[in-house]
Amino acid sequence: MSSEGLTESRGYKPLLPMILSYVASGGSLVLGSAAQLLTFAILARFLGVDEFSVFVAITAVASIAVHLCGLGAMECLVRRVARDRAIYAEMLGHNILLTAASGLALVLAGAVALPFFFALSPDPIANFAVIALMLITNIVLVRIIVLAEQIFIAHSDFASANKVVVGFAVARTVAAALACLVFGVSTVASWAVWQFICHVLVALACLWAIKGLGAPRYRIVREELPQGLYFSIPFILRALRQNADLLVLSLVTTAEIVSSYSVARRMLESSFLSVEALNRLIYPGSARMTTAGLHHALQRVLRVLGAATGISLAAALTVFVLAPVLPYLFGHEYVSLVGFVRGLAWVVVPLAIWSVAVEALGASGYHAARATVMGLGSIAGAGLAAGATWYAPPAGTFVSFYIIEIAMVVATWSVFLRFVRRDRERAAREFPAGILHGN
């Protein structure tokens, strides 16, 4: 085999193209994150602490539900299409059917339940309509837009995927600026209409962008149903864990604490995007490399771990240093904001470390193991976060965050290395040394 073929078989790529791809991918996510942060700042300033805390609460509920919408079908599409693009039409149809069915069920359930907890309008019918509109926007339409991004990633068209990310973020910022700065929107009910229109326009643009890749073939790919559930359940449980602290804080502290903490959490999510850019760039190649076993990608995963750790440290330091600027963006009524952001800034490091392991497990198709470790971690973490927040708010919330993420590092890497050993031992049994060397 030539040195070029050997290099390709081991999964290495020329360094410069990989760096350029990461810069493009990371740059798009950073730009998207900056636009999202500006959107968040505009809404926080113009809605005010009380209205903004309600907006955060409903958005938190939708962020849990959006992981259930589609039942994990998007990951199946990326993994399967990255290996064989001929299956794209079936996987697209699979996604559309599951997204439509689960999205309808989630919106109806939320529209019935949430009006008992949130009053966005004194008129019960109007309150129901506004909440339903917010759920359609933040569950179904968001899922459609993200699906378009994942379709491009499955085809290794990262440039188009980056355009979706940036375009979506910029569209939301423009909508928020028009609504609040030009038309004086100051309530969640009014913003819900603007947000819905914005998401509809972006979703239509995304559907137009992917139409050239082929029409869907509508059928349920049954063998991928359990894999999709295994993939989505950990994210649902993790979303529950992440919002357990917000829920308890809303019960035991003021609206200002809840609002400032939600902004700090958004900053944490924004800083993690630099690592997410690396993970999404690596995922399709890892899916191809692990077809014959996870052990084939071990060196690749370890290199990604080193890169992710360095990137997360740089991101944490940047957020920590720039935190004092945030009150000028969000408003000085968010008095706890700087301390909260600095307190959570370093959580991104253990988060980045364990995300590398779970991405590798997902790319190799070990979703049951991945779901187990993430699910158990999220359940235990939700209990710890809720308990610590209840007894010592908000300091207990921050301490629990670090304990949970460090524990996840230990758990996920233990599971990952266990499957690497298992695949290596299985390969040794199936392909003795003589066969492997062509003797």
Share of the chain above pLDDT 90, in %: 51
* N-to-C CA span, the chain: 16
Q: Give residue-wise pLDDT tens across range 157-188.
A: 988 988 998 899 999 999 999 999 999 999 99
Residue bearing the bigger pLDDT, 132 or 439: 132
Q: What is the pLDDT of residue 1?
A: 39
Q: What is the pLDDT of residue 2?
A: 39
Q: What is the pLDDT of residue 245?
A: 85
Q: Which of 168, 369, 363 is nearest to 281 (CA)?
A: 363
Residue bearing the bigger pLDDT, 92 or 289: 92
Domain boundaries, the chain: 22-221, 254-427
Averaged pLDDT for residues 90-116? 95
Q: Give residue-wise pLDDT tens across range 309-322.
A: 999 999 999 999 99
pLDDT for residue 212 is more than 70: yes
Where residue 30 falls among pLDDT bands split at 50, 70, 90?
Answer: low
Q: What is the pLDDT of residue 436?
A: 46
Cβ neighbours of residue 1 under 8 Å, at least 6 residues apart? Answer: 9
Q: Give residue-wise pLDDT tens across range 320-331.
A: 999 999 888 888
Q: What is the pLDDT of residue 10?
A: 43
Q: pTM for the complete prediction?
A: 0.73
For the chain, give the mean pLDDT: 87
Whether the Cβ atoms of residue 365 and residue 79 lie closer than 8 Å to each other: yes
Measuring CA to CA, how many Å separate 183 from each of 129, 176, 255, 279? Answer: 22, 10, 25, 40
Q: What is the pLDDT of residue 64?
A: 84
Mean pLDDT lowest among 94-98, 248-252, 328-332, 384-388: 248-252
Where residue 53 falls among pLDDT bands split at 50, 70, 90?
Answer: confident
Q: Give residue-wise pLDDT tens across range 133-159.
A: 999 999 999 999 999 999 999 998 988
Cβ neighbours of residue 66 under 8 Å, at least 6 residues apart? Answer: 138, 139, 142, 143
Concatenated DSSP letters for 193-222? Answer: HHHHHHHHHHHHHHHHHHGGG--------T
Measuring CA to CA, how many Å separate 287 from each of 83, 115, 301, 350? Answer: 7, 43, 12, 24
pLDDT for residue 21 is more than 80: no
Averaged pLDDT for residues 208-222? 93
Where residue 28 falls among pLDDT bands split at 50, 70, 90?
Answer: low
Q: What is the pLDDT of residue 3?
A: 39
Q: Give residue-wise pLDDT tens across range 398-424.
A: 999 999 999 999 999 999 999 999 999
Residue bearing the bigger pLDDT, 226 or 431: 226
| DSSP 8-state secondary structure symbol assigned to residue 6 | H
Q: What is the pLDDT of residue 20?
A: 60
Whether the Cβ atoms of residue 304 and residue 276 lie closer than 8 Å to each other: no
Residue bearing the bigger pLDDT, 254 or 437: 254
Number of Cβ atoms within 10 Å of the Cβ of 428: 12
